[in-house]
Amino acid sequence: MPYTFTAAPSSRVTKPRMKNPLLKRTSSSPSSMLPRRKPLQRAQSKPENGEREDEPCRLDNLGIVTSLAGISTPSNSVQIINHIKARIYDDIPERGGMNSTRIAEVLNFRRNLPSVTTSAHMHALSNSSTTMEREIASLMIKGVLRKVIIPGRGIGGSSIGEVLVLVEDWVLLIKEARLESQIKGTFSLPEGNSISDKSLDKYIEYLNASPLASVIPKAFFTASEATALMQAGFLTSLSPYTNSTNIFTRPYNASSSTLTSIAYISKAASGSEAAIGGEGAVHGVGGGGPAGLRVDDFKRELSLEDPGQPIIKGGGDFQLSLPNIGSFLKLLTSARSHLMFLLSKSKYNEAPLYLLRERWDGGVAADDPAAKSMNLKGQFLGVLPGRTRKWKQFYGLKFDWVLAECFGAGLVEVFETRSVGRSVRAV
């Protein structure tokens, strides 16, 4: 250990260095001599009605749109019906993510649906509802147009229980049924109930003779003819339990006087007909088909015109119908409900028209040149159309067609805005 090391601390004293006062900077402004204070913190203004600044506000309304008719929309009722029928579906996309089996299902579903138009869609494309109703009534008297009423689906322009069909389209369906009957021989019906040319001729004769009638007397057809026409979809039994209850009514809000209400069914014996609404319950809620008209319930008697042929003595009269009309109403109802659901996703139940269209299409890939070039390389943008609900459930229904249905039924209203163009609001 060196002798210079001791345990005592060092006695060296350090003094702070003196700063040169000449190097100190001074400000010549008079405000530098004032005492400094902290800036006042002003309270931020709170938004009114308790809303946040990032939340969307209501769209400005510059006026309600009274009609969806465009420049290319005709003014004649017959031409409007043809215009609607030609613009109900979108074309099958080339790269839609659907195989050949699915494409065949979509095309067959479209082909099997009847060529009908709702009254609500007609009012959506007309400038005057009164003029449209008068023209429809005039065409019905002339035998050019017919109105088909579906029991249990409501009445009036806002319901889906009234559809319009051109008589020429109706006759075309009958001719197709006759051709199919000749090809298959039995028209896919049980033996003895095949549809005949005589029954189809009588059916067309009644359409031409009674342009305003929607009911055919029970004695007009024989039992075999009526059964064949009902199974083909051209007739339904006129059930006495039909009503005009809204199909969107909740079960507990239904009238207790109907045979399909919960109050009535809950008191019926299990396994009985009353437990399911009684005979004709399907027709009471708007269904179709041959239910309610059974061969073992027929009371037969001899016809004076054609002895030996049984005619229907009971079961009530028949109502005119179209094949697969139930599938069309089901598609229409689900499409309306889905569009209203998409609209409810936006605050205040309103959205710009372009945004609502994008939601209906499902956010599919863009159709610009850049997206097409990436598709050629095998790189897809967005969702393939075949995987969206528009093609999986609605078979390619156009957005404009569904919007016109909701607009004519009074479910939505269309209005103009300054910044985003036309917008849609739920009523």
| pLDDT at residue 327 is higher than 90 | yes
Q: Calculate the average pLDDT of the chain.
A: 75
Top-confidence range, 40-44, 162-166, 280-284: 162-166
Q: What is the pLDDT of residue 390?
A: 93
Q: Where is pLDDT greater, at 20 or 212?
A: 212
The residues that bridge with 109 in the sheet, in sequence order, are none
Pairwise CA distance, residues 241 & 222, whole Å = 24
Q: Per-residue confidence at 175, pLDDT binned at 50, 70, 90?
A: confident
| pLDDT at residue 307 is higher than 60 | no
The 3-state DSSP class for residue 160 equals coil
Residue with tokens 């959506």: 124
Nearest to 262 by CA among 272, 270, 253: 253
Nearest to 89 by CA among 323, 321, 328, 287: 328
- How does pLDDT run across 23-36, given as a tens digit for each residue? 555 555 565 666 66
| pLDDT at residue 109 is higher than 90 | yes
pLDDT (mean) for 351-364? 89
Nearest to 366 by CA among 353, 356, 379: 379
Instruction: Give the single-character DSSP code of 17.
Output: P
Q: What is the pLDDT of residue 84?
A: 94
Q: What is the pLDDT of residue 17?
A: 67
Q: What percent of the chain has pLDDT over 70?
A: 59
Q: What is the pLDDT of residue 51?
A: 45
User: What's CA 207's distance to the chain center, in Å?
Assistant: 30
pLDDT (mean) for 9-17? 63
Q: What percent of the chain has pLDDT over 90?
A: 33
| pLDDT at residue 305 is higher than 50 | no
Q: What is the pLDDT of residue 102?
A: 93
Q: Where is pLDDT greater, at 419 or 88?
A: 88
pLDDT (mean) for 178-193? 59
Q: Per-residue confidence at 12, pLDDT binned at 50, 70, 90?
A: low
Distances (CA, A) of 256 to 20, 260, 396: 103, 9, 39
pLDDT (mean) for 196-217? 88
Q: Per-residue confidence at 298, pLDDT binned at 50, 70, 90?
A: very low
- How does pLDDT run across 375-387, given as a tens digit for each residue? 666 665 667 888 8
Q: Are 200 and 235 in contact (CB under 8 A)?
A: no
- How does pLDDT run across 74-100, given as a tens digit for each residue? 888 999 999 999 999 999 988 778 899
Show the beta-strand stretches assigned E in 11-65. 63-64
Q: What is the pLDDT of residue 427?
A: 87
| pLDDT at residue 190 is higher than 70 | no
Q: Where is pLDDT greater, at 243 or 90?
A: 90
pLDDT (mean) for 195-220? 87
pLDDT (mean) for 152-169? 74
Residue 373, amino acid: S
Q: What is the pLDDT of residue 199?
A: 85
Q: What is the pLDDT of residue 231?
A: 86
| pLDDT at residue 262 is higher than 80 | no
Q: Where is pLDDT greater, at 178 or 139?
A: 139
Residue 134, amino acid: R
Residue 21, amino acid: P
Residue 330, amino acid: K
